[in-house]
Structure 1
Amino acid sequence: MRSSNVPLLLPMLLLSLAFFATPLALLVAYSFAGKSGFSLEHYAAFLGDPFNLRVLINTLRLGVLTVIGTTLTGIPIALLYWHSGARLRQAIVFLTLMPMLTSNVVRTFAWIVILGRHGPISELLLSLGITGQPISLMFTETGLILTMCQIDLPLIILPVIASLSRVDKQLTDAAEVSGAGPWRTFLTVLLPLALPGLLAGWILVFASTSASFVTQAVIGGARNVYVPQLIYREVGVLFDWPLASAIAVVLLMSTGALLLSLSTIARHRRLVGHA
């Protein structure tokens, strides 16, 4: 880095230090605050409870399942964008960005109607004869995954679109001339070139889903408890800030390990060459 660029980076570095590094350091310090000084008692209390470990695993599983759901939905939309003309591309980008202009709280409460006993999902299942009576997906993991997939879908569509927009169509034409069918062209040409954007989307979706307190609390309900709800209980109900800090650090380390793995894969030299 040239020394002439340091003054330009200084404001960003100061803001990062003031609003990210310092609060994070205080959070870690709180987590080790015992009755007689430095202590691991809060980590032992959290990790020693089987219920808490199950909640942590369920939180990570929710993130993984949402990543799978958004991937299966987002890739076809990104491929449609890549094969479309200019006008349809503009429409796809607009429809992708439009939900992001609405508050996450508003979108979450809209899903209460969709997942209810008299919502469109229940009516569709009734009309198809799959169920004999109205059903509700509220306060279920299935309903929560559907909600999180819709909310976080733009986070995976946009990076994949950005990767595919740099793909030369002559590559797919060459594959087709060589005898590759649509599926083989996708698996051997398009998917490897879109993988950097896909990995970036996985990182964003997993991080967003794992920490989405509002959606988890409203759609998941009291029967589906996740780590952000545990942290809220310790802070807002029991006022046990050191234990809440320890839980937050465990969640941060657990999700951070997965995100670091994905980031390492995304920085692989073969993938960087496709970016």
Structure 2
Amino acid sequence: MRASGVPFLTPMLTLSVLFFAAPLAMLVGYSFVGETGFTLDNYARFLGDPFNFRVLVNTFRLGIQTVLGVTLLGIPIALLYWHSGPRVRQVIIFLTLIPMLTSNVVRTFAWIVILGRQGPISETLLAFGFTDGPISLMFTELGLVLAMTQIDLPLVVLPLIAMLSRLPTSLGEAAEVSGAGPWRILITVLIPLMLPALLAGWVLVFASTSASFVTQAVIGGARNVYMPQLIYREVGTLFDWPLAAAIAVVLLLTSGAVLLAITFLSRHRRLANHA
């Protein structure tokens, strides 16, 4: 008879309850606190303000744009890994892991230099004549999307590499022998096989982007306000903790709904057969 696994799960369950479930329950409870006790006024104040709704929409748009960016860059990198030899694969893995081994604060401040008026992006555009003078992408949504794309790129590349590593390179050759061109092989053969890994990466990227306070605050600036900054303002500036808790719950529920939708899509029977 197998021994019960409960004693081995107890430490993990205890930590989960103390440091996740209990704080989350306190957050939800605090969002209903008002001057007279239990109230829904905090949610009404947030949802009734058009500015707050626009911030929520901007947060989701940022997440979607970052997902598109990492997808457009991640697929070619993963395909390059699939077609390369062992040495090139090691280089690709090393370059992919470098951002994950660097502090998010360090990476964010590095992007300040890259996006600045004297940075490589501005100098390149000026050298090719695309601009009449130095430009700065700091405090713009485009600059923030570029930074978030680079920071979260490994979250898509690594699942794609893991998926393609299980596929023989002769798969593309077989499709080519059957008369399929490169684009048809990519669209009809490889992308359907990569889709489960893509969906898993999208979940991680969207969750990371929508909650990335440091990068949003530093690169986006005060003109581009997103949900984490809104929560920080209510907590650190206005000291309205119940409203901040309500905003956090709204962000948690809306982001969770998107992540659950992607997760359920990844478990679809047709996609599960490729996993």
Q: TM-score range by the shorter chain?
A: over 0.9
Say whether the 8 Å CA contact 2:199–2:262 is kept in structure 1: yes
What SS class does the counterpart of residue 166 from structure 2 fall into?
coil
Say whether the 8 Å CA contact 2:71–2:156 is kept in structure 1: yes
* Fraction of identical pairs, as percent: 73
What SS class does the counterpart of residue 155 from structure 1 fall into?
helix
Say whether the 8 Å CA contact 1:66–1:148 is kept in structure 2: yes
For 2:15 and 2:272, the matched residues in 1 are separated by 29
Once the two structures are TM-superposed, the CA of residue 10 in structure 1 deviates from its matched residue by 2.5
What SS class does the counterpart of residue 239 from structure 1 fall into?
coil
What SS class does the counterpart of residue 222 from structure 2 fall into?
coil
Which residue number in structure 2 is paired with residue 89 of structure 1? 89
**Any unmatched runs of 5+ in structure 1?**
none
1:173 aligned partner, one-letter code: E
Which residue number in structure 1 is paired with residue 215 of structure 2? 215
**Any unmatched runs of 5+ in structure 2?**
none
Which residue number in structure 1 is paired with residue 77 of structure 2? 77
After superposition, give the CA deviation of every residue in 1:104-154 in whole Å (9 maximum; x if it has no partner): 001100111111111111100100100001110010001000000011111
After superposition, give the CA deviation of every residue in 1:3-24 in whole Å (9 maximum; x if it has no partner): 7333332222222111111111
2:273 aligned partner, one-letter code: G
What SS class does the counterpart of residue 274 from structure 1 fall into?
coil
Which residue number in structure 2 is paired with residue 237 of structure 1? 237
TM-score by length of 1: 0.97
Which residue number in structure 1 is paired with residue 36 of structure 2? 36
After superposition, give the CA deviation of every residue in 1:155-211 in whole Å (9 maximum; x if it has no partner): 110011111111233432321121111111111111111111100100000000000
Q: CA RMSD in A?
A: 1.2
After superposition, give the CA deviation of every residue in 1:200-253 in whole Å (9 maximum; x if it has no partner): 100000000000000000000011011100100111111111000000000111
Residues 270 and 9 (structure 1 numbering): CA distance in 2 closer, same or farther, change over 3 Å?
farther
Which residue number in structure 2 is paired with residue 267 of structure 1? 267
For 1:184 and 1:53, the matched residues in 2 are separated by 42
Say whether the 8 Å CA contact 1:167–1:193 is kept in structure 2: no
Which residue number in structure 1 is paired with residue 14 of structure 2? 14
Q: How many residues align?
A: 274
1:172 aligned partner, one-letter code: G
